[in-house]
Structure 1
Amino acid sequence: MTAKLTQKQLAHQLGVSVATISRVLNDKPGVSDEIRERVLELMAQAGYAPNGAARSLATSRTGLIAFVVHQSSHDSREDPFYPFIVAGAESFLSSQQVHILFTSLDDDTMQKPQNFTAVAERRVDGLILAGPDISPNFILYHLSQGVPLVIIDNCLQNSEVNCVLNDDFGGEYQAARHLIQKGRRKIVFLSGPLEWVSSRERGRGYAHALSEAHLSPQMVYAAETTIASGEQAMAEALERWPDLDGVCAANDAMAIGAMRVLTSSGRRIPHDVAVFGFDDIGWSTLTTPPLSTVHVYKRQLGVLAAQRLLDVIADPELPPVKVISGTRLILRQSTGD
């Protein structure tokens, strides 16, 4: 069996720099389509050629699908988002006599995808990778191995892959537009990491709504989308724009953190500051006042991903598709509704 090629060896064979190889493997721009295709093709033919485990996925069936999240992301006690997606996927797969294995990635396995045991030990027929913080390197490695996979709440910018997303742009556009229609004029967006597609699209929707109303977008970026990061981002926003009168948060957890800071600083919600979340998790009805939010059809995301994955397993030659699931506004008292 051919030894795995290093990035340096790949670069030498293709006559390109190691930096170019790294950009391809991490889904970074600045590489031509021709070079990108040659790198991925050489990976498939040589050092990254499908191993016995990956080949077995194409020639036999285990009747098991792995649903994978990053170990440190989206603690279900704080942001119960992915358990509902798993439930949707599991419901559909069970109707097809396929079972689901829920597992998580630690940082070490993310950096060394060849050590991911669900594939290495031939346990599963394919992967549903859920979350914006699953690295392009992990995704592209398994694609190069011929492993059927679909990603949820994530999308590569420079490589084609099957993905299922929310209408993040449309949902945040409608939320910000609603605040504007309610008379708010100094609206801040509390964003998650800019490298996440959901953060970029929600921020873009917010900015588009403000631009249409001839208002200036104001954004604060956080390293994660938790209650704690919402508190930190809200504190920063109040320091920079003390007269703000509206908040659009990247998700409900951040909105809950923002509401805590606003209340502790003496701002009345919604009289002084209106707050909008995103996702419509169960906690959004338990805040004081209840949180207006953008409803995400979480179970449907799981169903759509599972359907697509079974299609790809049945026909590996299907071209990748991007599926967008719609959203709707849920209006509650945090925006005066």
Structure 2
Amino acid sequence: MTTIKDIAEHAKVSPATVSRILNYDDKLSVSDETRQRVFKIAEEMNYQKKKLAKYRLKKKKIAIVQWHSNTEELGDLFYMQIQYGIEAKAHDLKFASTVYSIDQIIEKIDFDSSYIGIIAVGKFDHTEITALSRYQLPIVFIGVNTLGLGFDCVNGDYTLATRQIIDYFFTKKITDIGLLIGIEHTKTEKLVLPDPREQTYKTYLEKLGYFNDKLIFAGDFTPQSGYNLMQQAITELGTDLPHGFIIGNDTMAIGAIHALQEADIKIPERVSLISFNDISIAQFTNPTLSTVHAYTETLGENAVSLLLERVAEPDAVPHMLTFASKLILRASSL
């Protein structure tokens, strides 16, 4: 198992610095570059693969388009994980890969003839998809259903995972279940994006007869938002604070843990927490996080394979690959 000391040695910082970065200590004064380096090394070591060297330019290249900026990635590592999967697969196949932001794509950049296609990671609106289409390259999307627009896509299944979390809480005799969730918008048109976890939470608990809309708290997918939302729940609900919480991602859960610990609320004795994505830092929190493993590397790797299929058969019927998620139980809910 990867340790904080292992990460520190590779990142060339102290173990204490690694621990504070992985736990989103906002009092730590380090650069975003250092934070990104630590997070990236933690993810790579978690997959038990060597850190990727800078791959020299080959005859064929793949463009990776991220909807998040580098700064936004620090608050939600999900898309960084997917990007790592794409880069690893491309590296194995002797392709070079270059990362662009959606803003760069909209501003219009020049792709030379060595680019075989685009993998777009995140949630994109009509304006952005139109901008991607004008490059006239095969495109695979990750994280959004684009079949209706004629594009291949790769997605994870969060619907079943949300039901599994609720079922697990019920086996622990926890029927008062709260939800901390982020609200996402597309970058250009600012469209609000529906979240399958929130939709499933509502419909499944309604079916079971335990839905309470006062237990939903929405903000951003960041540690600070997780902290603020849990503080809000503690203040507003008092002794009616739910005994179980589903949290939109692991970084939000880290903030929620800080808020509960400040309020001297025991985890999991008083409040059990289960989040999503299973990024590497989930095993370094105190307590360690129960979370849904999203197989992000698998999503990235299969997007590369799907892109190559599209290059080989441009007229094939568009299709979507959907991968299951797995509930990983750790100390925050046991």
TM-score relative to the length of structure 1: 0.71
Task: Check the 8 A contact 1:150/1:162 in 2, yes or no.
Answer: yes
Structure 1 position 236 matched with structure 2 position 232: yes
Q: Deviations over 1:18-72 (max 9, x none)?
A: xxxxxxxxxxxxxxxxxxxxxxxxxxxxxxxxxxxxxxxxxxx951001121343
Q: For residues 228 and 73 of structure 1, what CA distance do their matches in structure 2 show?
A: 17
Q: For residues 87 and 155 of structure 2, what CA distance do their matches in structure 1 show?
A: 18
Residues 270/157 of structure 1: CA separation in 2 closer, same or farther (3 Å cut): farther
Equivalent residue of 2:173, what SS? coil
Residues 264/123 of structure 1: CA separation in 2 closer, same or farther (3 Å cut): farther
Provide the residue aligned with 2:15 in structure 1.
none
Alignment partner of 2:298 out of 300, 303, 308 = 300
Q: For residues 98 and 256 of structure 2, what CA distance do their matches in structure 1 show?
A: 35
Structure 1 position 129 matched with structure 2 position 124: no
Equivalent residue of 2:65, what SS? strand
> How far did 1:265 drift?
1.8
Equivalent residue of 2:311, what SS? helix
Give 1:62-211 correspondences, 5 Å limit.
63-72=60-69, 75-106=72-103, 109=104, 113=106, 115-119=107-111, 121-122=112-113, 124-132=115-123, 134-143=124-133, 145-156=135-146, 159-193=149-183, 200-211=195-206
Code of the aligned partner of 1:92: K
Task: Check the 8 A contact 2:65/2:99 in 1, yes or no.
Answer: yes
Structure 2: state its 5+ residue gaps. 1-57, 187-191
Task: Check the 8 A contact 1:169/1:203 in 2, yes or no.
Answer: no
Task: Check the 8 A contact 1:173/1:206 in 2, yes or no.
Answer: yes
Structure 1 position 251 matched with structure 2 position 249: yes
Structure 1: state its 5+ residue gaps. 1-60
Code of the aligned partner of 1:287: T
Q: For residues 233 and 118 of structure 1, what CA distance do their matches in structure 2 show?
A: 43
> How far did 1:84 drift?
3.2
Q: What is the total number of aligned residue pairs between the two structures?
A: 268
TM-score relative to the length of structure 2: 0.72
Q: For residues 236 and 296 of structure 1, what CA distance do their matches in structure 2 show?
A: 28
Task: Check the 8 A contact 1:252/1:278 in 2, yes or no.
Answer: yes
Equivalent residue of 2:149, what SS? coil
Deviates most, 251-260 or 170-179: 170-179
Provide the residue aligned with 2:211 in structure 1.
216
Q: For residues 243 and 130 of structure 2, what CA distance do their matches in structure 1 show?
A: 43
> How far did 1:155 drift?
2.9
Residues 93/326 of structure 1: CA separation in 2 closer, same or farther (3 Å cut): same
Equivalent residue of 1:97, what SS? coil
Deviates most, 230-239 or 268-277: 230-239
Provide the residue aligned with 1:281 in structure 2.
279
Decide which structure has the larger Cα Rg and report it. 1
Identity, % of aligned positions? 27
Deviates most, 152-161 or 316-325: 152-161
Q: Deviations over 1:185-214 (max 9, x none)?
A: 221111121658986111123234423431
Equivalent residue of 1:294, what SS? strand
Q: For residues 252 and 290 of structure 2, what CA distance do their matches in structure 1 show?
A: 13
Code of the aligned partner of 1:70: W
Task: Check the 8 A contact 2:299/2:323 in 1, yes or no.
Answer: yes
Deviates most, 61-70 or 241-250: 61-70
Equivalent residue of 2:304, what SS? helix
Deviates most, 315-324 or 269-278: 315-324
